[in-house]
């Protein structure tokens, strides 16, 4: 009991200190990056040394999950702190306005805003158009500034005809690689606030490595020389009727070039923090919005993008929803640690709220994992995690999943439940449902409890 009391006191003192010092938070969200795509998670064919620094100088999660298995609903979980059985959107929509966040909700950037932080977002929003006047957009949900693609569909190309900065759409020439332009905005935001001593939240939902395998020309050519055996392969994708999405010669090389470019940019961010002397006051987190994809010429089998986990984006097996999660906070997070704490996107909001000393919204499903980051105190655990994925015009339930301790249950398109023991069977090869009827009934009760009727979608 004395140990627990001391731990609780230590955590209280920590939170009080951090509230006074206003820890900066940078949250980088990759797009369709698989569990095995980083060298710190076992990738052998390319290296991500700067992203790996977040692991070697911080904490690596091995049981972290995205909010869903596709972009929009996963981002909804991240912003709201509600799991996908309760979120307002549970699949990608044909249009995007139906995915917009409700004005009355308190979402992730608003927690920072309430604590007096400067807030900036840079990249793919995925929850409605970013230039929507009179409608919910990043600027109406707590961001002081936001630069990125106009819509999720247009974010399929890195050469769009326009981009949006602070709600205003501006034209781009056909040669502009917009990802780099967006990252420059993020660098400026970090530098401006870091040098001024203004606490900041920087959200970078990058488009890499989603869809079209388009990369800066110099890096692409470098990787084509390394991988000439794929030069006959052409990657194709689309970004809507009014947008060009150039084909990619050797998309295998394009993917590697995209990843090297992103890794270099994260290295630049870490260098900026060091130069400004704010490393110890800045938490940097890195994750992905869902598992690896198979589009635009990307070859997740060649790269072993899932880390041999079963499944990909759009299904609820581990390869579709288990994601990398790294956290670096020098002086607070002990370097080189690994945790198997079971966590998910809905936990980011309450973790952030605890760091900045703000209350979490009442009606959320997330649990702060600050104690896991600091190593101080006893971490509260989830009883279970639940996912629900809908697709089609009527947003009918397509698949559901439950993770409870070592158990993983999966249901697709109203087929019988599959049940796996992830401790013994991490690749979900041995379905135990037939031999464990009592456990299956328990899972069914969890699904019934976790599923809430989907609100009527707003017309797009």
Residue ending a domain, among 355, 383, 411, is: 383
260 shares its domain with 218: yes
Question: For residue 347, is it left (φ>0), alpha (ψ between -120 and 50) or beta?
Answer: alpha
Per-residue model confidence (pLDDT) at position 393: 66
Domain that holds residue 258: 2-383
Per-residue model confidence (pLDDT) at position 276: 98
Q: Verify cis geometry, omega within 30 degrees of 0, for the bond prior to 147.
A: no
Residue 456 resides in a domain: no
348 shares its domain with 413: no
Comparing C-alpha atoms, which of 72, 12, 42, 27 is closest to residue 325?
27
Token digits of residue 16: 């009080």
Q: What share of the chain is helix, strand, coil (3-state, %, to 5)?
A: 35, 20, 45
Comparing C-alpha atoms, which of 149, 204, 192, 181 is closest to residue 26?
204
367 shares its domain with 391: no
392 shares its domain with 323: no
Token digits of residue 126: 């995925």
Residue 435 resides in a domain: yes
Residue 459 resides in a domain: no
Residue 294 resides in a domain: yes
200 shares its domain with 91: yes
The CATH number covering residue 242 comes to 3.40.720.10
353 shares its domain with 438: no
142 shares its domain with 288: yes
298 shares its domain with 167: yes
Residue 303 resides in a domain: yes
Span 125-173, pLDDT tens digits: 999 999 987 778 999 999 999 999 999 999 999 999 999 999 999 999 9
Per-residue model confidence (pLDDT) at position 135: 79
Residue ending a domain, among 345, 362, 383, is: 383
Each of the 460 residues of the chain gets a pLDDT tens digit; together they read 333 343 444 444 444 444 458 999 999 999 999 999 999 999 999 999 999 999 999 999 999 999 999 999 999 999 999 999 999 999 998 777 789 999 999 999 999 999 999 999 999 999 999 998 777 899 999 999 999 999 999 999 999 999 999 999 999 999 999 999 999 999 999 999 999 999 999 999 999 999 899 999 999 999 999 999 999 999 999 998 889 999 999 999 999 999 999 999 999 999 999 999 999 999 999 999 999 999 999 999 999 999 999 999 999 999 999 999 999 999 999 999 999 999 999 999 999 999 999 999 999 999 999 999 999 999 999 999 999 999 876 778 899 999 999 999 999 988 999 999 999 999 999 999 999 999 999 999 999 999 999 875 443 3
CA dist 322 and 317 (Å) reads: 8
Span 202-234, pLDDT tens digits: 999 999 999 899 999 999 999 999 999 999 999
Comparing C-alpha atoms, which of 180, 259, 181, 179 is closest to residue 227?
259
Per-residue model confidence (pLDDT) at position 2: 32
CB contact burial 267-293 (16+ within 10 A = b; e otherwise): eebbebbeebebbebbbbbbbbbbbbb
Residue ending a domain, among 383, 418, 438, is: 383
Q: How many CB atoms lie within 10 A of CB 162?
A: 16
CA dist 112 and 119 (Å) reads: 7
DSSP assignment, residue 459?
A: P
347 shares its domain with 444: no
CA dist 387 and 443 (Å) reads: 13
Comparing C-alpha atoms, which of 184, 230, 176 is closest to residue 204?
184
120 shares its domain with 192: yes
Residue 458 resides in a domain: no
CA dist 29 and 453 (Å) reads: 28
Q: Provide the number of structural domains found in the chain.
A: 2
Q: How many CB atoms lie within 10 A of CB 331?
A: 9
Three-state SS at 154: helix
271 shares its domain with 374: yes
Three-state SS at 400: strand
Q: What is the pTM of this model?
A: 0.94
Residue 460 resides in a domain: no
* Residue with the two structure tokens 């905005």: 185
Three-state SS at 326: strand
The CATH number covering residue 439 comes to 3.30.1120.10
367 shares its domain with 411: no
Residue 34 resides in a domain: yes
């Amino acid at each position: 009991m004395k140990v627990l009391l001391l731990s609780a006191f230590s955590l209280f003192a920590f939170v009080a200190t951090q509230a006074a010092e206003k820890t900066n938070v940078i949250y980088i969200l990759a797009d369709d990056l698989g569990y095995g795509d980083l060298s710190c998670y076992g990738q052998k064919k390319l290296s991500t040394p700067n992203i790996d620094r977040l692991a070697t100088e911080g904490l690596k999660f091995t049981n972290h999950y995205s909010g869903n298995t596709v972009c929009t609903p996963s981002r909804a979980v991240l912003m709201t702190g509600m799991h996908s059985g309760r979120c307002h959107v549970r699949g990608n929509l044909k249009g995007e306005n139906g995915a917009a966040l409700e004005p009355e909700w308190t979402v992730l950037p608003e927690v920072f805003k309430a604590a007096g932080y400067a807030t900036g977002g840079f990249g793919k929003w995925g929850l409605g158009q970013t230039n929507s006047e009179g409608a919910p957009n990043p600027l109406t949900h707590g961001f002081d500034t936001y630069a990125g693609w106009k819509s999720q569909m247009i974010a399929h190309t890195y050469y769009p005809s326009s981009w949006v900065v602070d709600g205003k759409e501006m034209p781009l020439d056909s040669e502009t690689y917009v990802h780099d332009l967006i990252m420059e905005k993020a660098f400026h935001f970090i530098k401006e606030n870091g040098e001024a001593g203004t606490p900041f939240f920087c959200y970078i939902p990058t488009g890499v490595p989603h869809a079209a395998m388009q990369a800066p020309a110099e890096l692409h050519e470098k990787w084509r020389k390394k991988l000439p055996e794929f030069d006959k392969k052409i990657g194709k994708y689309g970004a809507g009727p009014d947008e060009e999405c150039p084909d990619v010669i050797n998309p295998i090389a394009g993917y590697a070039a995209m990843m090297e470019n992103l890794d270099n940019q994260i290295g630049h961010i870490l260098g900026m923090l060091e130069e400004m002397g704010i490393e110890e006051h800045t938490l940097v987190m890195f994750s992905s919005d869902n598992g690896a994809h198979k589009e635009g010429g990307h070859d997740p089998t060649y790269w072993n993008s899932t880390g041999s986990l079963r499944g990909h984006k759009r299904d609820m097996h581990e390869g579709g929803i288990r994601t990398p999660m790294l956290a670096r906070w020098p002086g607070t997070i002990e370097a080189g640690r690994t945790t198997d704490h079971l966590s998910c996107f809905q936990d980011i909001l309450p973790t952030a709220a605890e760091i900045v000393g703000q209350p979490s919204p009442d009606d959320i499903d997330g649990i702060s994992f600050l104690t896991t980051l600091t190593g101080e105190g006893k971490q509260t655990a989830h009883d279970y995690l639940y996912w629900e994925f809908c697709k089609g015009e009527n947003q009918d339930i397509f698949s559901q999943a439950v993770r409870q301790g070592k158990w993983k249950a999966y249901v697709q398109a109203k087929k019988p439940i599959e049940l796996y023991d992830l401790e013994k069977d991490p690749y979900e090869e041995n379905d135990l449902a037939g031999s464990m009827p009592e456990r299956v009934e328990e899972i069914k009760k969890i699904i019934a409890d976790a599923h809430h009727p989907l609100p009527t979608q707003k017309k797009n």
